[in-house]
Amino acid sequence: MTIDEILHKDQLNKEEIKLLLSAEGEDLKKLFDRALQVKLERLDNYVHLRGLIEYSNICSKYCLYCGVRCKNLKVERYQLSDEEVLECAKLAHELGYGSVALQSGERSDKAFVDKITHLVKEIKKIDNGSLGITLSLGEQTEDTYRRWFEAGAHRYLLRIEASNEELYYKIHPHDARHDFQQRLACIDSLLKVGYQTGTGVMVGLPFQTLDDLADDLLFFKEKDVAMVGMGPFIPHPDTPLWQYREQIPTAKKRMELTLKMIAILRLMMPEINMVAATANQTVDPQGREKAILAGANVIMPNLTPNEFRENYLIYPDKACVKDKPDECHSCLDIRLAAIGHKVLYNAWGDSVAFTKGNPNYSKH
Ligand code: SAH
């Protein structure tokens, strides 16, 4: 089968995915062109924004890649006040972002669960519920997920990080706090509760093979998720995986592989929301634009107050840490216009894959 035939198929099998993951030169260009074409046909040239609020770096986990793991004692821990969170949310609303994403280190104690429930309700009060709310707060019980959903959150991001159990345990400790089956069960709970559920993986991890990456894409398809986030792995000096930094692909290759993953998934799941992750921009100044051109349709501009941003370094040299929120804003419009895209302001920007399958879903 020729590359052109594969690029026009409805379903891709593992061998075809691997072939596309290995594409180079003219074939690679064809892959990116086809993914962009599919996106424009199905979703138009709109980019949806989620104002990112990095709520807290207090975390009970010690994932082997993450800079805010609780065992990294160099990090100064913080948690935003309710006022700070609401100020960020109001700013998102004023800037016309339509949605916010509340992300945090992982905690599941009652005080945290209650606090988030309260914050979600407060954010919902802004202009009569006009902001969409995405949560990215790690593994929780189904009951907690349901409480937050009932409070008004309607999208949830929980990356599987690696869908191969063996690889999962090479990038997480193998203990009760980092349980692969538990993470899988959480994704199932989110789907069951009714969230637009997002998952994803890091690309270019130590020990990760093309087989793993192909299986990751098939996993997203099998779970029929509404959203996916994928970004290059970036080694952090204060984490255990730093020791493998010479054994992983170069930053350029990790970026290219991420773009291939985005493009292939756009062919496999044409109407899902896919984020152009900030990690892309950290590895390559044009990274986010490249991800949009490879098939992504969501960007999460950072709204966290500047004084806290440098304490939320899940990976080093994170892009935009020093930018002011409104600077990010004008810069985005210009950058997107330059690549023939535009921001869809004042809308939730839900996943079409999800809303289509749920005809009674009340869209904003
Ligand atoms: N505690 C939440 C939020 C995690 S941060 C949760 O567990 O879901 C969001 C994402 O950043 C993670 O899911 C992970 O995929 C990514 N990330 C963490 N460390 C990284 C690193 N060193 N390089 C690239 N991405 C990283």
Per-residue pLDDT tens over the stretch 88-128: 999 999 999 999 999 999 999 999 999 999 999 999 999 99
Q: Pick from 312, 333, 309: which is nearest to 323 by CA?
A: 309
pLDDT band at 362 (very low <50, low <70, confident <90, very high): low
The answer to whether the beta carbons of residues 156 and 190 sit under 8 Å apart is yes
Q: Where are the alpha helices (DSSP H) in the chain?
A: 3-7, 14-21, 25-43, 82-94, 110-125, 142-151, 165-171, 180-193, 210-223, 251-268, 278-283, 287-293, 306-309, 325-337, 352-357
Task: For residues 14-28, give the mean pLDDT.
Answer: 98
Q: Pick from 142, 57, 73: which is nearest to 106 by CA?
A: 57
DSSP category for residue 242:
G
Least confident of 189-193, 267-271, 282-286: 282-286
CATH architecture assignment, domain 10-357: Alpha-Beta Barrel (3.20)
Torsion of CA 192, 196, 197, 199, to 10 degrees: 170
C-alpha 149 to ligand 1 mean position (Å): 22
pLDDT band at 360 (very low <50, low <70, confident <90, very high): confident
Query: What is the C-alpha to C-alpha distance for residues 229 and 252, in angstroms, rounded to an integer?
Result: 19
Q: Which residues line ligand 1 (CB under 6 A)?
A: 65-66, 103, 105-106, 136, 138, 158-159, 161, 202, 231, 233-234, 236, 279, 314-315
C-alpha 183 to ligand 1 mean position (Å): 14
**pLDDT (0 to 100) of residue 250:** 98
C-alpha 27 to ligand 1 mean position (Å): 31
Q: Phi and psi dihedrals of 153, rounded to 5?
A: -75, 140
Beta bridge partners, 196, equal: 155
**pLDDT (0 to 100) of residue 327:** 67
Q: Pick from 294, 281, 299: which is nearest to 349 by CA?
A: 299
**pLDDT (0 to 100) of residue 326:** 65
- Domain-wise residue ranges, the chain: 10-357
C-alpha 344 to ligand 1 mean position (Å): 26
Average pLDDT value over all residues in the chain? 96
The answer to whether the beta carbons of residues 152 and 133 sit under 8 Å apart is yes
**pLDDT (0 to 100) of residue 292:** 98
The answer to whether the beta carbons of residues 194 and 146 sit under 8 Å apart is no
Location of structure tokens 């890649």? 65
The answer to whether the beta carbons of residues 123 and 86 sit under 8 Å apart is yes
